[in-house]
Amino acid sequence: MADIEAVRAALSRIVDPARGEDILSAGMVKGLAVRDGAVSFVLEVDPARASGMEPLRKAAEAAAASVEGVTGVSAILTAHAPQGTARQAPKMAVPDLGLKDFTPKPKAPEGPQPLPGVRHVVAIASGKGGVGKSTVSSNLAVALAARGLRVGLLDADVYGPSQPRMLGITGRPSAPSPGVILPLRNHGVAVMSLGFMVEEGEALVWRGPMLMGALQQMLAQVQWGTLDVLLIDLPPGTGDVQMTLCQKTEVAGAVIVSTPQDIALIDARKGIDMFNRMGTPILGLVENMASFVCDGCGKAHHPFGHGGARKEAEKLRVPFLGEIPLHLGIRVAGDAGAPIVAQKPESEEAKAFWSIADGLVATLAARG
């Protein structure tokens, strides 16, 4: 098995010609990790030089790959401005995930494009964080796969990629040929996430252009095969990732996740408005954490209110896909890497996800 100190030694032999110092001593190597023979790190460079740093990244990647026991290397190039200084977006290529080179075509087709082999691309979105969007995404993906559909899940929540944990997947994707990334699989779902490229507690400190480039690279290079549905777990809000997805990819529609709380619904409305402006249909609303049943008295309680998402769906004339209870079992199952629909498919708390999955299938079928 590869030793991290041996990898450090190899990287210390790579010299940045502009600085005359090796990349390790210069502090350019961030987040170095070795896991089951797979090496991953970020090469942080001066934004002004970012466009010409790809050869240095490749040299660092090759050096790490030469270490005995290394089975693969993921080297990500990023640019970071010192604190207190203004930063201009550098002219740079699409961020490299460290698997194979990806160069966009000089004249890309205009407008949203279909993903080869994928029948429906469905965005799972929320106006704000903390409403359980990723939990809904993982359970919905597993439920759809259990219903016999060919399902993929792209974890595009680059600020907090949680699908590797929720779906119980470790390791890193392989790249059998240039421009091809093979997703990992579990519970019948093909999965791709930036969480496979970095350590679980490591933050991706990227600005908009880097995020958009990473999303396009994952969409363009991942070999999903033939899928009935590709779910995309988006970051919360109405930012660059959401806009890039809708502008570059044919999206069948978006599922909006919210709690019943008024403050969450305010932000959910903003998310709906953004998709409407982008011309992306709203496939439905999901009310998460709708209620919990007290173990002691057996009574249903509604800590965040009740029925807010249903009323919003009726107001906007979009499908209401269902309510999901606030239940300890759902959280425990997700933390354990086996969504509740896989761990306890017959449980009361799992029934909500089965119903939402069936509702989504019906909505997609009605749209053709």
Binding-site annotation: residue ranges: 127-134
Beta bridge partners of 118: 227
Which phi and psi angles does 66 have, rounded to 5°? -80, -10
Contact 78, 89 (CB under 8 A): no
CA distance 184 to 302: 38
Beta bridge partners of 184: 191
Contact 62, 47 (CB under 8 A): no
Q: Give binding residues for ATP as ranges.
A: 127-134
- Angle at Cα 168 formed by Cα 164 and Cα 170, nearest 5°? 60
Helix (H) or strand (E) holding 362: helix 348-367
Which phi and psi angles does 135 have, rounded to 5°? -65, -45
CA distance 118 to 251: 10
